[in-house]
Amino acid sequence: MKRILLFLATNLAIMLLLGIVLNLLGINSILDAQGSDLDLGKLLVLSAVVGFTGSLFSLAISKWSAKRMMGVRVISQPANATESWLVGAVQRQAQAAGIGMPEVGVFDSPEPNAFATGARRDAALVAVSTGLLQSMSQQEVEAVLAHEVSHVANGDMVTMTLIQGVVNTFVFFLSRVIGHFVDRVIFKTEEGHGPAFIITSIIAQLVLGLFAMMIVMWFSRQREFRADAGGATLAGRQAMIGALERLQQRHSGALPDKMAAFGIAGGPKPGGFKRLFMSHPPLEERIAVAHTVGREVAASMIAEGARELIEEARALAGQNGWKR
């Protein structure tokens, strides 16, 4: 019930903000002065306002809404050794990643999960579930924290918000263009817009929205691979692999949609069309990539070491006047 009320309150606030912005910009119609053709300039501005307002507003209140939606208890003063270690681990990783100290929180859930959110890299929130703390070793928890800190350091919250805003803008713009075309060409409406415009625009927006979601989810999956790599750098590759394997053994619980893209885990590997709508790559793929990257790094280090030995040998040979 609490989540539903927060969802409704957020959307009402967005609608109010939309109305204020559109009134300030003086946009009350997307048609030209004659009321027959689209004013593409006004439509583009309207599309951008609609596309970005919700995304930016959600980002601005992301920490506030996450705390209330998930019941996060922020650790201001550690109450026990576990909380003290948790804050210390995040602090070390934040320093290593070059970001400000995030707020650290815990939320009650029997399932292992964690997320990061916040509009700014230097004022983020990293939260873990009680289930994660109970089911993982300290090394594995540290890898999960490193994954979330990497999300913050990479600016993933802002990046995904901007991507969402851009695709929302194009979906709104193109759906209105399609609706206008159908209304004028097929239904022969000469002035203003008839019911065909509204119906066609809604259908086009739903269809285009599916393609837009695929694009956003593709970017989200790429950010997950990058966060895994960052987690491996901060906490160690084996610790990151161990944490992912632990999550694979115990499927983590679902987070609300707004935080799901920045959680640690996705679900089991789906097949077919569903895969295109995943915010996270399957854990099997993430583990395989972590192993592959590790081997590549090891091979690179061995090759680099060999090159250094060769260079040292050549330098030594030159000093002693040896010939090849």
Active site residues: 148
How many other CB atoms sit within 10 Å of the CB of residue 144?
Answer: 30
Strands 125-129 and 103-107: parallel
Q: Angle formed by the axes of helices 237-249 and 283-319, to 10°?
A: 170
How big, in percent rounded to 5, are the helix, strand and coil portions of the chain? Answer: 70, 5, 25
Three-class secondary structure of residue 192 per DSSP: coil
* Range 84-89 contact pairs with CB under 8 angstroms and sequence separation of 24 or more: 85/138, 86/128, 86/133, 86/141, 86/145, 89/141, 89/142, 89/145
Whether the Cβ atoms of residue 116 and residue 149 lie closer than 8 Å to each other? yes
Whether the Cβ atoms of residue 65 and residue 119 lie closer than 8 Å to each other? no
Q: Kindly tell me the sign of the dihedral angle through the C-alpha atoms of 13, 16, 20, 21.
A: positive
Can you spell out the DSSP letters for 194-208?
-HHHHHHHHHHHHHH
Beta strands in the chain (DSSP E): 73-74, 103-107, 114-117, 125-129
